[in-house]
Amino acid sequence: MVPENTPPEYAHLKIGNRETITDYYVPTHVSDDLKAFALKVFVRLNAKSITFRNVSFTHSVIDGCYLRSCVFDSCDFTGCRFIGSNLHQSNFPGCKFDYATFERCQIDDDILSSEAPRQENLRMRFARSLRMNYQQIGDAKAVNKAITLELEATSEHLLESWYSDSPYHRKKYPGLLRVAQFLHWIEFWILHFVWGNGESIFKLLRSIVIAVVIIAIYDAGSLSAQVTLYDYWDSLKLAPGIFLGTVVRAHHSIGVASIIVATKLVALSLLTALLVKRFGRR
């Protein structure tokens, strides 16, 4: 029931039941409690080497808390918000982190591989939140791990969004939206193949090698109608120089030469961007 003094613009709102708990600590292990820790705002809560088993933290805010070396066994963190908290060396076996977010928290990166949600869209957002969290605290190794999981989940999500016949995906992406998701998936797949969406030097070098091989095949074919293996081998030896612009072949058309130059410039730009992005996390 809305109080009588409630302003008219708040007539459709009700006061929530979320309670703020400040400067408490947990002295003993906690088991099978679905109410005491749910829908709370914990400020500077302290617990060390405490086991929480089958405890619900749903839609709680954990702000500036010290929860180091704790074990959270089969706990529910759905909708939780972790802010500036220390969870170093804490374990989360069997926990649920749907819609949970993290900001400036000290938390071990093994949570990415062991506790990520099953649904690809929730796993993608989970990894993205932790990626931003690790960037805030300057943990470059954990950032790379989070990005890997985020890219895997994003690829799966884009594929499912246009390919899957599940009611959820068909209701969310009907008609032309399904076509748009297919195009997004194609774009993502191409960029992932070319340079791992900015995360893989190996894939970029592989793409450069493929470009050099294509140049060698074209160069050998443009010399003679009857190409021998020797011609291919000779062109392959010259292909890196052609790609870098140190070798000029007079029999190449202006269009092909322009494509080679453009490919070189794009490849070098991607390599520079990848190196700056990677070392910029250090």
Q: Do residues 204 and 111 both lie within one domain?
A: no
User: In this structure, are 233 and 125 located in the same domain?
Assistant: no
What is the per-residue pLDDT for 96?
A: 96
User: Checking DSSP bridges between strand 71-73 and strand 51-55, what pairing results, if any?
Assistant: parallel
Residue 82 and residue 159 in one domain: yes
Which residues of 91-189 form beta strands (DSSP E)?
A: 101-103, 106-107
Q: Are 217 and 232 in contact (CB under 8 A)?
A: yes
Whole domain around residue 126: which residue ranges? 8-176
For residues 44 and 156, membership in a common domain is answered with yes
Residue 194 lies in a domain: no
The CA distance from 4 to 123, in Å, is 44
pLDDT in tens, 140-173: 899 999 999 999 999 999 999 999 988 988 899 9
Can you tell me which residue has the tokens 């939780």? 80
Select from 218, 196, 199 the least CA-distant residue to 207.
196
pLDDT tens for the chain, 282 residues long, are 445 566 777 777 777 788 999 999 999 999 999 999 999 999 999 999 999 999 999 999 999 999 999 999 999 999 999 999 999 999 999 999 999 999 999 999 999 998 999 999 999 999 999 999 999 999 989 999 999 999 999 999 999 999 998 898 889 999 899 999 999 999 999 999 999 998 889 999 999 999 999 999 999 988 877 888 888 999 999 999 999 989 888 888 899 999 999 999 999 999 999 888 777 655
Q: Are residues 149 and 57 in the same domain?
A: yes
Asked if 73 contacts 50 with a C-beta cutoff of 8 angstroms, the reply is no
Rounded to whole angstroms, how far apart are CA atoms 182 and 161?
A: 8
Which residue, among 151, 71, 83, 140, has the nearest Cα to 111 in the 3D structure?
Answer: 71
**Residue 93 DSSP label:** T
In a domain, 14, yes or no: yes
The amino acid that residue 48 corresponds to is K
Question: Up-side HSE of residue 255: CA atoms within 13 Å toward CB?
Answer: 1
271 CB-side CA count, 13 A: 12
Q: How far apart are alpha carbons 132 and 214 in whole angstroms?
A: 39
Residue 133 sits in the same domain as residue 205:
no
| Count of all residues that appear for the chain in the document | 282
Q: Could you tell me if residue 48 is inside a domain?
A: yes
Residue 140 amino acid letter: A
Judgement on whether residues 29 and 91 belong to the same structural domain of the protein: yes
Q: Is 33 left (phi over 0), alpha (psi -120 to 50) or beta?
A: beta
Q: Which helix (H) or strand (E) holds 188?
A: helix 176-195
- Please report whether residue 28 resides in a domain: yes
Among residues 176, 210, 225, the one where a domain terminates is 176
If one counts the domains in the chain, the total is 2
Give how far the C-alpha of residue 86 lies from the chain's centroid of Cα atoms, to the nearest Å.
22
